Amino acid sequence: MTEVKKTKGSGWLNVLVDYGPLIIFLGVYRHFAPEKPEAIAEVAAVIKGTLAFMLAAIAALAFSKWRLGKVSPMLWFSTALIVGFGSLTVFFGDPTFVQIKPTIIYLTFGIALLAGWQKGKALLRILLETAFEGLDDSGWLILSRNWGIFFLFLGALNEAVRYVYNVGNGNFETWLWAKFWVFMPLTFLFTFSQIPMLLRHGLGDDGILEEEQNPPPVG
């Protein structure tokens, strides 16, 4: 019973680590965003939000190491891209860089997971640094394949949303909100949709709880 409570706590902390920096990005951007469409002021708001996003991502990584005792490979990679593409956004004054960052994350993970699946390797187990109790090797392979396909879908979706909603047409904030109202719900729905398959491959009760509370981040 103690282990279950601990898993629940860490599950909420994982969500905070994954989505906290994005919430800060949105808050800072909204605070500085102009009331009327104005290109220069809009870009300035994005840059300030990006700087806050970068600092928050680094703080989340440090928090994960301190509170959870580990930093998953996915979080290392995501934070590196946030800092890298965020720096390009600030240096060039071009919000495009911060908008394509999720696409790079999704495509990288999607291609890596599918390449591993074709070679009979469940890379998702390595990326998540977790072990769902009772799940057999075949289940891990199927889960890696399914997440690989889903990541490619998210990459294409982000590009579509980015094309329609951006600073150029004064809808950058809509793209940010899509992270919470589109990408996050889709990710959790997809996570839950995998449970029947996982149960058929030996996933236990504790494994279900861990799988529900530790989906990969949405970028």
Q: What is the pLDDT of residues 86-110, one digit of tens each?
A: 999 999 999 999 999 999 999 999 9
The alpha-helical segments, DSSP class H, found in the chain are: 2-32, 39-63, 73-92, 96-118, 123-128, 137-164, 172-178, 184-193, 195-200, 205-213
Residues 147/213, Cβ–Cβ less than 8 Å: no
Q: How sure is the predictor about 62, in pLDDT bands with cuts at 50, 70 and 90?
A: very high
Whether 186 is in a domain gets the answer yes
Residues 100/155, Cβ–Cβ less than 8 Å: no
Whether 219 is in a domain gets the answer no
Q: How many structural domains are present in the chain?
A: 1
pLDDT, average across residues 162-181: 92
Whether 45 is in a domain gets the answer yes
The residue segments making up the domain with residue 126 are 2-213
Q: How far apart are CA 156 and CA 85, in angstroms?
A: 19
Whether 203 is in a domain gets the answer yes
The answer, as to whether pTM is greater than 0.95, is: no
Residues 42/32, Cβ–Cβ less than 8 Å: no
Residue 219 has pLDDT above 70, yes or no: no
Whether 38 is in a domain gets the answer yes
Whether 218 is in a domain gets the answer no
Residue 36 has pLDDT above 60, yes or no: yes
Residue 51 has pLDDT above 60, yes or no: yes
- Give pLDDT tens digits for 12-27: 677 788 889 999 999 9
